[in-house]
Amino acid sequence: MIMAKRPEDVRTGTVRIVWPHLFAPYASENQDSEPSYSVAILIDKEDKKTLNAINAAYKAAFEAGVKKHGAKFQSKGKTPLIRPDGGNKGILIDCDSDLRPDSLDAEDVKGCYLMNLKRKNKPGVVAVQDGALVHLGEEDIQGGDYCQVTLSMYPYNHPQGGMGISKGLNNVCKMSDGEPLGTGSASAESDFADMASASAFGSGDNDEDPFA
């Protein structure tokens, strides 16, 4: 069951995380914004409970924006729930579209929505061990792991940034390990998988002089 404290809050089902920066604030070189704690989550399109919870929180945030900012927000504050082709705004990115980030392999994210989340303050990062919640360190979690995440939707009205709806990261609970994802490089396990059943040195199957 997906529970939340406010209408704008969501606790996801099990999702897969990408690009976690949960223990130190981070900003990429092409970002003008201040460094923040961040993570992206991959939501299976078949996870209707999570997607319905996100949609309900999105609607609640929009209603809160109208209540706070009036009719102007109602006409100008409608950030798309799913980013349209060619657009640069939207709560969810369809990974089956051309908007999928190039750093993510199409097969790895097939049938998923991507949501980028961040916050200014360090989030809680925990796991359940022996029936109790324990706090994790940076070495305990990586891109590709399976987690549940809490997040919040909220309306904004920036003097230069216009009006709309955005989302923020709250906390992360790791559920299980996953294959590395979004790291930008192969793992040692994948590079040397054949070594587990082979000798430490080459078998001599190809003894031709490479410099002949």
Which residues sit opposite 73 in a β-bridge? none
Residue 201 lies in a domain: no
Residue 208 lies in a domain: no
pLDDT value, residue 191? 59
CA dihedral 162, 166, 170, 172 (to 10 degrees): -140
pLDDT value, residue 190? 57
Range of the domain at 151: 9-194
Structure letter (DSSP) for residue 84? P
pLDDT value, residue 78? 83
Expressed in angstroms, the distance from the first to the final Cα of the chain is: 66
Regions of the chain with pLDDT less than 70: 1-4, 30-32, 184-212
pLDDT value, residue 77? 85
Residue 69 lies in a domain: yes
Residue 207 lies in a domain: no
**pTM score of the predicted model:** 0.83
Residue 206 lies in a domain: no
pLDDT value, residue 159? 81
Contact, 155 vs 65, CB < 8 A?
Answer: yes
CA–CA distance, 54 with 59 (Å, rounded to integer): 9
pLDDT value, residue 25? 96
Residue 2 lies in a domain: no
